Structures are given as structure tokens and as C-alpha cells.
Amino acid sequence: LKELVGLVLKASSQPMPLSHNILPRVFSFYHHWKKIYGATHLIWFGPKARLTISDPVLIREIFSKTELYEKYESHPLVRKLEGDGLLSLKGEKWAHHRKIITPTFHMENLKLMIPSMGETVTKMLDKWLDMLSSDEATVEIEVSEWFQKLMEEAITRAVFGSSYEDGKAIFQLQAEQMVFATESFQKVFIPGYRFLPTKKNRMTWRLDKEINKSLMKVIEQRREKHCCSSKLERSNECAEAEDLLEIMIRASARQPQQISTSAITLNDIVEECKGFFFAGKNTTSNLLTWTTILLAMHPEWQELARDEVFTVCGARDVPTKDDVAKLRTLGMIVNEALRLYPPAVATIRRAKVDVQLGGCKIPRGTELLVPIIAVHHDQALWGHDATKFNPTRFSQGLAWAAKHPTAFMPFGLGARRCIGQNLAILQAKLTIAIILQRFTFELAPTYQHAPTVLMLLYPQYGAPIIFRPHRIT
Ligand code: HEM
């Protein structure tokens, strides 16, 4: 590692102006070091060396060579929340799970969820309308909280379908557990903290047991229902699976009885369910929050997007799958929100063996941090207006938006890229389209623009937005 100390790889991109208004403060250190040491530099985290890599060519190499670089393991406390599923598995077992679960997230399957997604959004907006005192009134909504509740419901429906009521109770426990974890986020780095019987740790352990027990019960009930009526084989061939749980249960029933490393067991299904909630809820609600903030800041884009929604959807309350595909301006806006405010601000890989990267020898075990948010704000990749909201840059598609294909990676890259990407984009476009049909909105005077990182990228002082019912003239 000595070879790496003080190592300065040539900066591959222009210096980026530091703007506290756009970048979360926690990332300001990155700009400082980048100016001094270049786009790729080494930081010591106590005894651990961590290379920060923001050169897109090197990034592509790291994500494409899975035989050389592996996913970094989360802290055990975070891992408890993400479950031992796709998010954290490695090797053959990960590949088997990924193969089984990937088709679930194809648009053909997701489109079946559109009516229930639409219903969830309209129910939320009806509540906002009820909060208005008169027809002319406006209502101030703290959107980040509402969007978290919306996503809790949406993910529960996507995972549990017909077992929704039981699933809801389970995911509420997991939401509680996530609140504890977020509150103790800084403390998780204290060695041994997770073993201390503090009040919050004890609550987390108790919740964990309850979540596992309840999930197992729902899965067994669903399995029994299939087995007893011996419908499983038939349903495998004919019926479309209604939810993620169903797909995984069918897959587990299809495989040979002997347990191999690639078998999907009931315990695995429990862990995958936890992972979907952890990975899908706050990320997607964050995307919704930042998109709404940006549209509130830029009324001209809000107007353009609304016109598009009315042109495409006509009198339909909930856009269809075909409508969603035609909402191009809205798609550009969502991409620009993901670029400026990527919910997952960074990701980490670890060198599995000694490797050569960018002409340097990297010892086995070195951690490689890819600062997604900083790459998204790099002027050398995105032009002089890199920190400005300009959805037009996506008008010719993703491939044309930046100077390098790996410059845009809100969902990660390569084999381990986000499996829920289609679901997140569909949910975001559908939700924002329905909001635009019903309301015009602007920032509340109390809004303070201060993005901050607490596992994900949040608006530090919330997102109060003023909504006014939209009248068609
Ligand atoms: C992986 C971001 C929504 C499930 C990832 C990764 C990123 C990401 C960056 C890759 C992490 C890495 O390479 O280290 C996001 C964002 C979302 C979102 C920004 C919303 C805006 C969802 C949803 C689900 C989901 C809705 C599922 C319901 C997963 C899973 C993985 C993953 C299971 C691990 C995939 C694997 O390793 O095979 N996500 N995600 N995500 N995401 Fe998402």
C-alpha cells in the first residue's frame, strides 16, 4: 500500500466549481482533494486505504471486470436492513437469484402493477385535496414525508400483491427499523457499537426477529395455498405471477429438492423481501422529492411537462403503460433529477486480487469509491452548465447526454446495476404525471435548499411545497 501513498493519478477532467447550493456539504471534501490530487486519489480511512475514482474510463473498467472487483460489504447494521439477498450476495448464489428475479422487473410484468400504483397515488392526492379549506385555497405539503409513505405502500403492493395486508404490517416494522438505523447512522462506525445493548439496538434486534417470523409465516401460507390445491404446476405454465413473492415461491418450488448453493430457499425469499423494501422505498421516494422540488423551482418546465401529460393522457386519470412511454419531456426531467440529485450518491468496490488500474498497481483488498454524484456534476463530462437544471441535455437519449457513456449512473453499472430501475422510473413518471394533472406547485417560503447525505441524498430541512388545484382553462 506504500506505493499508493501520495499517489496522484493524472486528473482526467476539469476542476468543478464547488457549490454548496447543489452538492451536499459532505461531498465538498471531494472537490477540495480533487483540486489538489486529481480526479483519482487515495484517502486513508484509519488503517484502510480507499481510492476515489471518477474517471469514466476507469469506472467502466471497475464495473465490467467482475472477476477483479467485487461489491463492497455493507456495515453489519446496514446489512441487517438490506437482508442477505441480491444486494449483498456474491458469486454463484447471487447469479442464480438475479436470473430468477430479473424477469419480474421487465416492463411487461410491471405494467400489471400500473392500476394499483395509480390508485395509491390518487388516494394520496385526494387527501391533499381534502386538506384545502376552499376551492381557491392552497395547501402546504411536506412532500418527502408523503412520498415515503407512498413508496411504502407501492413497494408493499409490488412485493406482496394479494397478501398486501400481512405485508403492510411487516414492512411497517421494517420502516421502524430503518428509522432507528438512520438515527444511529454516525454511530455505526464506532467499533463494537452494534453489540451494545442500547435501547435502539435492543429495539432493532426485537424488530428483526418479528420481521423474520412474520415474513416466514406469509411465505409459508402462500406456499401451502399453492401446494394444497396442487395448482402450482399449472399456475407455473399459465397464470401471470401477480407479485414478486409469487415469482420467487414458484422458482423455489421448481428446483430440485437437494439444497445446493444455487437453490432458492424460504429463508432466501425472506431476505429478498427485506432487500426490496430497503432498496426501493427511500431511493424512489427521494427521486420523487427531488423531481418535485426541481419542477417547483422551474415553472417553465412544470408547464411543459403538464402540457405533455394532458396531450398524451387526455381525460384519463391514470396514464396507461403506453402513455407513460410517450411522456418524453417528463422522462428527460426525471433523468435530470437523477443526474443532479442521485439518491445513491456513491458506491464502493473492492479489488479481489492485485490489479493494474490506470497504469497503477492496486493491491488486493483496496477499496475503490465511485462518487456517483461528483461524476454527474463534472463539467468535463457534462459541459459548463453541469450544475444547472437542463433536461434538454437528455433530448437525444442517454447515450448523447454526456461525453462518456458511464458519466450517468444513478442506478449503478454493469452486472450489479439496480434491478428495480424500471419500477422506480415507472413509479416516478406515473406519480409526477398524476400530480401535474391535478395541481400546480411552487416552493414554500420556508424551503431551504440543503441537500445532505444520510445513507441517501435528502433535503436536510425537508421539502415544503405549496400546491394549488390545477384548473383547465
Ligand atoms: C442496486 C440505485 C430503486 C432494488 C442498486 C444500485 C444502485 C441503485 C446505485 C447499485 C449499487 C452498487 O452497485 O453498489 C437505486 C435508485 C433507485 C432504486 C437510485 C430509485 C430511484 C430500486 C427499487 C428496487 C431496487 C425500486 C426494488 C424494488 C435493488 C437491488 C439492487 C439494487 C435488489 C442490487 C442488485 C444486484 O446487486 O444484483 N440500486 N435503486 N432498487 N437495487 Fe436499486
Shortest-distance atom of ligand 1 to CA 277: 28
Print the SS3 string covering 55-110: CHHHHHHHHHCCCCEEECCCCHHHHHHHCCCCCCCCHHHHHHHHHHHHHHHCHHHH
Pick the more confident residue, 256 or 329: 329
pTM of the shown model: 0.89
pLDDT, residue 260, reads: 56
pLDDT, residue 186, reads: 61
Our answer on whether the CB atom of 416 is closer than 6 Å to any ligand 1 atom is yes
Q: With 60 as the cut, is the pLDDT of residue 427 above it?
A: yes
CB 437 within 8 A of CB 313: yes
Range in 62-71, 227-236, 294-303 the model is least confident about:
227-236
Our answer on whether the CB atom of 424 is closer than 6 Å to any ligand 1 atom is yes
pLDDT digits (tens, 9 = 90+) for 301-312: 999 999 999 999
3-class secondary structure, 266: helix
pLDDT, residue 466, reads: 97
In DSSP terms, which residues pair with 139 in a beta bridge?
467
Per-residue pLDDT band for 8 (boundaries 50, 70, 90) equals: very low
pLDDT digits (tens, 9 = 90+) for 234-288: 444 445 666 888 878 887 777 655 455 556 888 888 999 999 999 999 999 999 9
Residue 14 dihedral angles phi and psi, to the nearest 5°: -70, 155
Average pLDDT taken over every residue of the chain: 84
- Give the pLDDT mean for 445-469: 89
Our answer on whether the CB atom of 87 is closer than 6 Å to any ligand 1 atom is yes
CA of 275 to the centre of ligand 1 (A): 9
CA of 167 to the centre of ligand 1 (A): 21
Whether the ipTM is more than 0.85: the answer is yes
Q: What is the CA radius of gyration of the chain?
A: 23
Helices (H), 351-403: 372-376, 379-382, 398-401
Best residue for ligand 1 mutational test, from 418, 425, 457 (most atoms within 8 Å of Cβ): 418
Shortest-distance atom of ligand 1 to CA 349: 14
Our answer on whether the CB atom of 411 is closer than 6 Å to any ligand 1 atom is yes
Best residue for ligand 1 mutational test, from 283, 292, 348 (most atoms within 8 Å of Cβ): 283
Q: With 70 as the cut, is the pLDDT of residue 31 above it?
A: no
CA of 159 to the centre of ligand 1 (A): 15
pLDDT digits (tens, 9 = 90+) for 65-105: 999 999 988 877 778 788 889 999 998 889 988 988 888 78
Our answer on whether the CB atom of 59 is closer than 6 Å to any ligand 1 atom is no
pLDDT digits (tens, 9 = 90+) for 101-139: 888 788 888 888 898 899 999 999 999 999 987 767 899
Counting Cα atoms < 13 Å in the Cβ hemisphere of 202 gives 3
CA of 86 to the centre of ligand 1 (A): 9
pLDDT digits (tens, 9 = 90+) for 148-203: 999 999 999 888 887 888 888 888 898 888 887 777 666 666 777 777 888 888 88
Please state whether 462 falls in left (phi above 0), alpha (psi between -120 and 50) or beta: left
CA of 299 to the centre of ligand 1 (A): 30
CA of 424 to the centre of ligand 1 (A): 9
Residue nearest to atom 10 of ligand 1 (CA): 412
Selection from 73-82, 135-144, 229-238, 406-415 with the highest mean pLDDT: 406-415
Per-residue pLDDT band for 422 (boundaries 50, 70, 90) equals: very high
pLDDT, residue 37, reads: 73
Residue nearest to atom 38 of ligand 1 (CA): 416
Per-residue pLDDT band for 414 (boundaries 50, 70, 90) equals: very high
- Give the pLDDT mean for 449-458: 83
Q: With 80 as the cut, is the pLDDT of residue 381 above it?
A: yes
